[in-house]
Amino acid sequence: MKRGFEGAPSSKMRSLLAALAALSPVAASAQMAVTTFGATDAQLCYEAARDDFSRDSSACDAALKSQAMSGRDRIATYVNRGVVLNRAGSLDDALADFNRALEEDEDLAEAFLNRGNTYFLMRRYDDAIADYEASLSFDLPKAHVAWYNIGLAHEAKKDAVKAREAYRMALEINPDFGPARKKLGISSEADD
């Protein structure tokens, strides 16, 4: 199976990505790359995952073909390629990469968060919420992002009460998190 971006996403995928972006300026980029050490292609893959505009997974593909990569870097590269593939609209391939990373490290919070984003894009909101919650149970470094994404998923399910609860949790962790403040109608001090 060929991976990577081979042209524009379908109009249905563009609509879904646009809907996600409309829900929040953070939603499309509320993914977390995983740091790699040593392997050049793995580092380039990490940089592609951190670039909000990158849809090219070729560095990730090259890194995964390398035999000189540590197990930790290989797992991180699966997550990072999944982030890039999500952005490219290759959701099934992204899901496969996150699943592969979780097969090798079942406690990897970033893989759960990013797989949750894939499920969100697939409109599998209950699966997304379950993965966002799992990411929180494994000490996700930016827990406010997971809570915010939980809010987005509840909002997509038309459950405003649970969405607001999740946005409030995001603000308990990071009171300055603008997207959650905006969802709750709280102006920032800069707006005053």
Prediction pTM value: 0.78
Q: Does residue 7 have a pLDDT over 90?
A: no
Mean pLDDT of all residues in 136-145 = 94
Q: Does residue 16 have a pLDDT over 80?
A: no
Q: How many CB atoms lie within 10 A of CB 138?
A: 15
Angle at 60 (CA atoms; ends 91, 121), nearest 5 degrees: 15
89: left (phi over 0), alpha (psi -120 to 50) or beta: left
Taking all residues of the chain, what is their mean pLDDT, rounded to a whole number? 83
Q: Does residue 10 have a pLDDT over 70?
A: no
Over residues 62-105, the pLDDT tens digits come to 999 987 888 999 999 999 999 999 999 999 999 999 999 999 99
Q: How far apart are CA 175 and CA 166, in angstroms?
A: 13
User: Which CATH superfamily, name and number, covers 108-184?
Assistant: Tetratricopeptide repeat domain (1.25.40.10)
What are the sequence ranges of the domains in the chain? 40-106, 108-184
